[in-house]
A and B are shown apart, each in its own frame.
Chain A
């Protein structure tokens, strides 16, 4: 049980109708994926990434070898209940609405009705499809379908998340959100297996990667170790005078090394989000912008909500004006877009931009969430903490139910 996923010489050969072997999709694959790790499976098209995932999940029978997922066989319902799977195309029923889709998958997980409803609302908020929740999925664009696919992968609060090309079809903002979500989920103890050929996305989030080609692993290891170029050194400074630059150059030449001085490049993603945010903000009323900044500032301050909750003492449930018979209301759309809730990952200014961009102009309603842990946490928070907490509690809602 030390590895979340372990494969032993997994092989898949596709034969044609006459039994002749046609395609060796995966050959002798031995992977070890630890718990609480973000693992990236990379490779060009046709290298066997999706086939590997299908074998792990029992959709295909391996020709040779075997795999152990979460200590057992992935076709076992007990193990299945802890896995979330996002296939490479969001294979969803086109005639169901977004809400009905999540309802259906929630039922398959045997979630109690109240928990199911609450999670559905949280997830719709999180993926930003609240407004179109009652439209049939068949009318969605690819990106929107992808988001619903992600939502159904998360509805059971899985321990293991298998994402096959999660960012294809999403715009840069959506991609950013998913990356932040993945990192946040990893922080909460989940294991994530990511399959992609979009290298930039994988580079940002993964701890370890494996590169597949022709069904075989060509390279495997920690991202930092693999990508680090130990033969060079990079120094980044703030604005310094030309004289200082000259002096640095001289020091470096003294070491018999080359020195190249340039201005570092902004990442295109960051630039894009900044421009779009600026454009959006020009049409937003002032009140919306003000509250945004508050959230951004507070969240970059450091301590995550999870830590606060963990250290919270059990307290009486504090029920306020909204009736306690209702499931926790996520009327707070402003917080819905804050997938990028974890500011510890990036303390760059673009984080605030992202939240600015995805915030709606509605003022935030301070309705406390009616679940035990949240209520307990509220006891210890100050007024501003309350506001921030309700907004951030989308993911909390997912992981707290203890179901």
Chain B
């Protein structure tokens, strides 16, 4: 029987080692990027746009990219939200277990797995077809399509968890389906809905391949929807590609900013879920 115990101990060792490697890689990424980016992190990075000669190592910051990303991700998230909520509610309240619902869910899950570069290529195609130029507008359209499946499915799962008793209670007092949906179910699912929104926002702000073709890049803060805009991921990418060490340093700092931003959203969404759950019925 010693052989059995030995085998178990051996695999336990392997399992714990694997877990260490997996969790360790998270820390490795975080630590290295922050450590390398910290030296170049100063206030001017986040408060100034690139001045002339920025890419040669002179002054400025990446405010253009920060604002550009916030506009882009913000508006794309809002647009995706306007679509996702009705979709999630429809799938659960009206379509139920029908074939249509299963098909749509499968389609959304599959869409969520499509590479962002494909979304970018398609957005680019339509942009050319309409003879338009790279702009914030096309970035928003592309990113909305990118994050829509993720947000819709996340909301779908949250709404599905609303207990049947709540629906029953609402119908029992004579509410219509729409009223039940708007007043009872949305409120119950609110924390989960918020999490889905934050999740999608984090995805939208961090994606590079979808905005590469459609938004362009510029040193200025976009003044209108049809201006090109800078985005944080591309700021990192382009700065890293230069040969000048100071600029490369700034690339790491930009990466650190982006990392901190997206991780904060992840953590915030988790904490908010717990906080808002106070009003939720168990």
Q: Do A and B come from one complex?
A: no
Interface on B for A, CB 8 Å cutoff?
none
